[in-house]
A and B are shown apart, each in its own frame.
Chain A
């Protein structure tokens, strides 16, 4: 069949329908009670109207509408198919034929007369006048501001069997704006009674959108009558809402339960779940809401000059720039091997542009740390109140910028550290008076740049860490060999060991130590470190040293055997030659004399078990971590290298020597060395050496 103009098909079809209509009407004259005939006539009219308006035969559709309405009443038994009605209907049918054959036929008295007659007959049965369902004028709408909705919905049990796909509903919600979706799995039954085709899940969706509420309702258009759905407006002005408030407002827990839990002190959600007042999925959802509002309001607050970009697009952009930087290194490498000035000039130009683009892109991801510090005011205030302490909070360097992902992941560790400082560091007002301090304790949060790092400090003027007690406790727990003398910083690092606690009774709040291992792991996950300084009676200073960004670093490319490795340039202090004399000395653990300082060095070729013979002139790269330095012996220092960090797979997550991998200009993979770990390794050698010597 050749494709035809649908309107031509309609014309043909309408002719058949009109014949069917005529036949039915004529037969009805003799059998007015025949339901089949009435149905047949109605169907013909119904189809002509419906198709007519779809294919642009508006006049026919409008005209037929009245006839159809009349026959609908006939069908429903409200109007009898009298001879008069059939006569008018036949006249109407002729009119319809004319309108279909000549759609341009102007409105005429003839058509109106037929409709008047029809109306007169039907009105005897009290027909409400056929209302014209014209489109309501669309009010001019101004662009509304973005607002956040909380949508909670649970579909009917049989919704999926009836062909509704919840995933598509969620997808549709996502198209409306920025959505955070949490599945509530609390009512999923156990496996043996689970009916797979039933829908047991409910969902909470936090949606920030400029679309009106009706747009959200439209998503559920087909199922809205048979489901649980609540759509609530969230106050976006409140940037930092407490989890208790959210839960009470959602109706997930009673205010009393929250009060009880709060009186037991933090973390509230965990307590509520433990006490059976709240299901874990609802807590997850409320936390997601808190997070959603934080992210959304932060972006909105930036004002007219900025545009909102979804976080994942920024990540994508970063990824692309990363690829560009890799490709650019290849180009530079190839250009160097081709002795062509023009190619070299272009390669240099591209290199400059790639670096600028890299810096700009990284700048886009930078967020001032004030967004993080702001949240802690409330925390400090609440803790002071809960613990009966007076606290003055001071913050410095709030404008210091850090990579967005770093900032986000800093939240939890910082909360933990601040809470510890307040709970364990600061004395009670009475205690402070005895110690000759003002009754109000002081907590200082500061952030500052230092080279390629950002230092974030939490300083308290409390009682300080108890060296003797920590040492005793660590020995007792077998974390430290008895009698070992360590520097303050090293000893204090013990508090980050899993399970370490100085508290006599372990409660959910006890001890610097509970959860500190998690803090340490999170910071190390950010390629950062924690330094601790403490003076008894004066206070404690914890400093987080964090890389500016996680994505790209300047690296020093070195070769060990045949393989190449990358050292973060920020950790590199200098490169020296390994003299034959020093090389000749004892294998494994050795020291270099760097301007009077003894620096231990590690032979990477031994560490990596390289069998190929060493280069005649090996180099030592001196790297530092904190105040410690270690030399790494390599075969060759190749030079500077822009490194796009690719994280290692989960399988390799426990490999400590490497912090990631990168792709070199020639396409080869090079591993990035974890300096912190290597320095630690070097120090172990040193202490072994000291112990032996």
Chain B
């Protein structure tokens, strides 16, 4: 069965790109526009991987990661965050919060697939 990836981003274009890329790579993608919505979706359904932006309205990516790690069902589920080069401190904070890895923006579609494969397997 195809693995399900939750993509959380306030940017519709990024969401669309993530969806196109990962669907093309054989994954099922569900989407949320901010951390709060992402958390709600994650509570509703089991997902195999979360890819989240950090800067988002309502609930940012850091808080989302912290909340997810509090859920027993999200122990061990990889969480990848999208970050920019300039966010070195943010990266450290995200890791402490419980993120598994990161993708530096801007990224190419292949990079996204590579990282997803890296943490999720083929």
CB within 8 Å of B: which residues of A? 3-4, 6-7, 9-10, 12-13, 40, 42-43, 46-47, 49-51, 53-55, 61, 69, 72, 133, 160-165, 167-168, 171-172, 197, 221-222, 225-226
Contacts and interface: CB of A to CB of B under 8 A. Distances in A.
A225 B95 contact: yes
B106 A161 contact: no
A72 B90 CA distance: 13
Contacts of B82: 50
Given A72-B86, A161-B76, A43 B16 contact: no
B66 interface: no
A492 to B, nearest CB: 56
A222 B101 contact: yes
Interface string B12-40: 11101100100000000000000000000
Nearest to B92: A225
Contacts of B12: 9, 12-13
A171 B118 CA distance: 9
B11 interface: yes
A163 B79 contact: yes
A49 B78 CA distance: 27
A51 B14 contact: yes
Given A43-B55, A168-B118, A50 B84 contact: yes
A164 B20 contact: no
Contacts of B102: 222
Contacts of B105: 50, 53-54
A225 B94 CA distance: 13
Contact of A163 (B57, B77, B85, B107): B77
Contact of B17 (A54, A172, A221, A225): A54
Contacts of A40: 57
Nearest to B101: A222
B100 interface: yes
7 contacts: A13-B11, A47-B10, A47-B14, A49-B84, A50-B105, A162-B98, A163-B119
Contact of B13 (A13, A43, A46, A164): A13
Contact of A162 (B13, B85, B100, B121): B100
A168 B105 CA distance: 24
Contacts of B119: 163-165, 168, 222
B78 A46 contact: no
Contacts of A167: 121
Contacts of B20: 3, 6
Contacts of A7: 13
Contacts of B13: 6-7, 9-10, 13, 51, 54-55
Nearest to B56: A43
Contacts of A49: 84
B99 interface: yes
Interface string B101-122: 1100111100000000011110
Contacts of A165: 78, 119, 121
A61 B85 CA distance: 14
A197 B75 contact: yes
B118 A50 contact: no
Contact of B57 (A43, A161, A197): A43
A48 B86 CA distance: 15
In the complex, which of the residues B57, B100, B108, B118 has the most CB atoms of chain A within 10 Å of its own CB atom? B118
Contacts of A12: 12
Nearest to A9: B13
A46 B119 CA distance: 26
A163 B78 contact: yes
B65 to A, nearest CB: 10
B74 to A, nearest CB: 9
In the complex, which of the residues A51, A162, A171 has the most CB atoms of chain B within 10 Å of its own CB atom? A162
Contact of A55 (B17, B57, B118): B17
A164 B79 CA distance: 9
Contacts of B78: 163-165
Given A12-B12, A50-B106, 4 more contacts: A42-B55, A49-B84, A50-B105, A54-B14
Given A50-B105, A197-B75, A6 B121 contact: no
A197 to B, nearest CB: 6
Contacts of B118: 168, 172, 222
In the complex, which of the residues A3, A7, A43 has the most CB atoms of chain B within 10 Å of its own CB atom? A43
Contacts of B98: 161-163
A129 B38 CA distance: 37
A608 B16 CA distance: 71
Those 5 A-B pairs whose CB atoms lie nearest each other, nearest first? A163-B78, A163-B100, A222-B101, A53-B106, A10-B13
Contacts of B101: 163, 221-222
In the complex, which of the residues B20, B85, B86 has the most CB atoms of chain A within 10 Å of its own CB atom? B86
A13 B105 CA distance: 17
In the complex, which of the residues A4, A10, A40 has the most CB atoms of chain B within 10 Å of its own CB atom? A10
B100 A54 contact: no
A54 B86 contact: no
Contacts of A225: 95
Contacts of B16: 4, 6, 9
A101 B12 CA distance: 18
Contacts of A69: 86
Nearest to B86: A72
Contacts of A50: 11, 14, 82, 84, 105-106
B76 A47 contact: no
A640 to B, nearest CB: 47
B11 A47 contact: yes
Contact of A51 (B11, B69, B120): B11
B18 to A, nearest CB: 10
Contacts of B69: 161-162
Nearest to B9: A47
Given A163-B76, A165-B121, A168-B118, A222 B17 contact: no
A164 B75 CA distance: 10
A49 B82 CA distance: 14
A12 B12 CA distance: 9
A55 B86 CA distance: 20
Contacts of A46: 55, 84
Contacts of A133: 85
A296 to B, nearest CB: 26
A271 to B, nearest CB: 41
A137 B55 CA distance: 31
Contacts of A43: 10, 55-57
In the complex, which of the residues B13, B69, B78, B105 has the most CB atoms of chain A within 10 Å of its own CB atom? B13
Interface in B37-71: 55-57, 69
B119 to A, nearest CB: 7
A447 to B, nearest CB: 45
A157 to B, nearest CB: 13
Contacts of B57: 40, 43
B28 to A, nearest CB: 16
A161 B11 contact: no
Contacts of A168: 118-121
Contacts of A164: 78, 100, 119
Contacts of A42: 55
A543 B13 CA distance: 75
